């Protein structure tokens, strides 16, 4: 009976075989003293059935040592009452394997405390399934250090819900590897907030795929830091909606980036964007760009236009030349204008 079981000493409990323990009723298991359970051998613990694990009370579960928790099978771990999970000491929780973590049920995952999550090793974190990651609330996600998040696989990063992604702080964002950045899917990219876009490192901006750049909203494009924008390559730039670039961003672009834009993109630049161009950006304008701009050339600053080469000037259209202001015309240089007309 439970009363008889309660009377057993820890030494006597140790002498029971796994089979004998397995035959005990739930009531008898609950009658075991905390010290009795704490003294159980690996073989005895592995012999406990599903219902017996479920029947164990909080004191019995939390009384298990790290070594004892470690020997429980993943299925046994999944049968521990979810309400007891939060009470497992951090030093004991750290003993769980990735396979045991994988078997945690929904309620068990949701019961994990900040301290328990902070204590998790890279090996344990690998045990999280996509479904489990989606269950983590903002407090739990916030408990992850940048180093821990960096240990996530690409598939685990993909599992983050957009609302979870939007809560990542500076340390977490900047810890993401190039492979993790490239694994972000459309709704995740669109969920990135202003501070998160601005927190991207130059390496992370460079890692963005052309498809991801195309997913950026108008606001998100305007949030890109100048130094991050300068990391974008040809494929990324061709996917960029240049009409959303700020004047400051345009002025920060390298001439090679301007040269990488197609004629349609150059022609789509706003008046303000064209006015923001300096000598560096004008240097990147191809002859095709200048022809496509036609009379919009008049919006480019006179000092910047003065840096056009003879080859670039030759590409100006008749309307482009005709609409130049007197200041632009003067700074462009009469010899070059005449050269252009005569060579046309």
Give residue 9's pLDDT. 78
3-state secondary structure labels for all residues of the chain:
CHHHHHHCCHHHHHHCCHHHHHCCCHHHHHHCCHHHHHCCCHHHHHCCCHHHHHHCCHHHHHCCCHHHHHHCCHHHHHCCCHHHHCCCCHHHHCCCCHHHHHCCCHHHHHHCCHHHHHHCCHHHHCCCCHHHHHHCCHHHHHHCCHHHHHCCCHHHHHHCCHHHHCCCCHHHHHHCCHHHHHHCCHHHHHHCCHHHHHHCCHHHHHHCCHHHHHHCCHHHHHHCCHHHHCCCCHHHHHCCCHHHCCHHHHHHCCHHHHHHCCHHHHHHCCHHHHHHCCHHHHHCCCHHHHHHHHHHHHHCCHHHHCCCCHHHHHCCCHHHHHCCCHHHHHHHCHHHHHHHHHHC
Residue 79 pLDDT grade (very low, low, confident, very high; cuts 50, 70, 90):
very high
Q: How far apart are CA 220 and CA 186, in angstroms?
A: 13
Give tens-digit pLDDT for 161-194: 999 999 999 999 999 999 999 999 999 999 999 9
Q: Does position 64 have pLDDT exceeding 80, yes or no?
A: yes
Query: Which whole number is the average pLDDT over 267-283?
Result: 94
Residue 342 pLDDT grade (very low, low, confident, very high; cuts 50, 70, 90):
very low
Give residue 13's pLDDT. 75
Residue 337 pLDDT grade (very low, low, confident, very high; cuts 50, 70, 90):
low
Q: Does position 140 have pLDDT exceeding 80, yes or no?
A: yes
Q: Does position 52 have pLDDT exceeding 60, yes or no?
A: yes
92-96, 163-167, 259-263, 314-318, range with the lowest pLDDT: 314-318
Of the chain, the percentage scoring pLDDT greater than 70 comes to 96
Give residue 4's pLDDT. 75
The residue ranking higher by pLDDT, 335 or 215, is 215
Which are the contacts of 263, defined by CB distance < 8 A and separation ≥ 6?
288, 289, 291, 292
20-24, 62-66, 106-110, 283-287, range with the lowest pLDDT: 20-24
Give tens-digit pLDDT for 196-250: 999 999 999 999 999 999 999 999 999 999 999 999 999 999 999 998 999 999 9
90-94, 146-150, 316-320, range with the lowest pLDDT: 316-320
CA atoms within 13 A on the CB side of 149: 27
Give residue 335's pLDDT. 54
Query: Which whole number is the average pLDDT over 125-152?
Result: 97
Give tens-digit pLDDT for 305-321: 999 988 898 899 999 98
Mean of the per-residue pLDDT values of the chain? 92
Which two structure tokens, joined as six digits, stand for 163?
């609302």
44-53, 189-198, 275-284, 293-302, range with the lowest pLDDT: 44-53
Which two structure tokens, joined as six digits, stand for 78?
């999944």
Residue 115 pLDDT grade (very low, low, confident, very high; cuts 50, 70, 90):
very high
Give residue 114's pLDDT. 97
């Amino acid at each position: 009976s439970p009363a008889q079981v309660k009377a057993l000493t820890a030494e006597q409990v140790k002498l029971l075989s796994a089979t004998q323990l397995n035959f005990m009723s739930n009531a008898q298991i609950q009658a075991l003293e905390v010290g009795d359970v704490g003294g159980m051998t690996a073989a005895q613990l592995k012999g406990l059935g599903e219902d017996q694990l479920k029947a164990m009370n909080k004191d019995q579960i939390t009384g298990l040592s790290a070594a004892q928790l470690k020997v429980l099978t993943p299925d046994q771990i999944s049968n521990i009452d979810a309400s007891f999970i939060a009470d497992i000491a951090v030093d004991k929780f750290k003993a769980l394997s990735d396979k045991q973590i994988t078997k945690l049920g929904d309620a068990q995952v949701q019961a994990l405390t900040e301290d328990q999550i902070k204590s998790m090793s890279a090996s344990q974190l690998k045990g999280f399934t996509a479904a489990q990651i989606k269950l983590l609330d903002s407090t739990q996600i916030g408990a992850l250090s940048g180093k821990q998040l960096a240990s996530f696989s690409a598939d685990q990063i993909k599992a983050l819900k957009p609302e979870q992604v939007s809560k990542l702080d500076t340390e977490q964002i900047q810890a993401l590897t190039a492979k993790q950045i490239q694994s972000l899917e459309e709704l995740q990219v669109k969920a990135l907030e202003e501070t998160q876009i601005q927190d991207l490192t130059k390496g992370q901006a460079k890692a963005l795929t052309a498809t991801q750049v195309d997913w950026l909203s108008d606001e998100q494009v305007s949030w890109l830091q100048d130094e991050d924008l300068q990391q974008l390559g040809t494929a990324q730039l061709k996917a960029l909606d240049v009409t959303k670039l700020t004047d400051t961003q345009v002025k920060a672009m390298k001439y090679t980036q301007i040269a990488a834009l197609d004629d349609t993109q150059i022609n789509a630049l706003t008046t303000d964007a064209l006015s923001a161009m300096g000598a560096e950006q004008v240097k990147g304008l191809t002859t095709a760009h200048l022809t496509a701009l036609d009379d919009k050339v008049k919006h480019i600053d006179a000092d910047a236009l003065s840096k056009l080469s003879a080859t670039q000037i030759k590409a100006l259209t008749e309307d482009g030349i005709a609409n130049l202001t007197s200041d632009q015309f003067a700074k462009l240089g009469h010899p070059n204008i005449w050269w252009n007309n005569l060579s046309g």
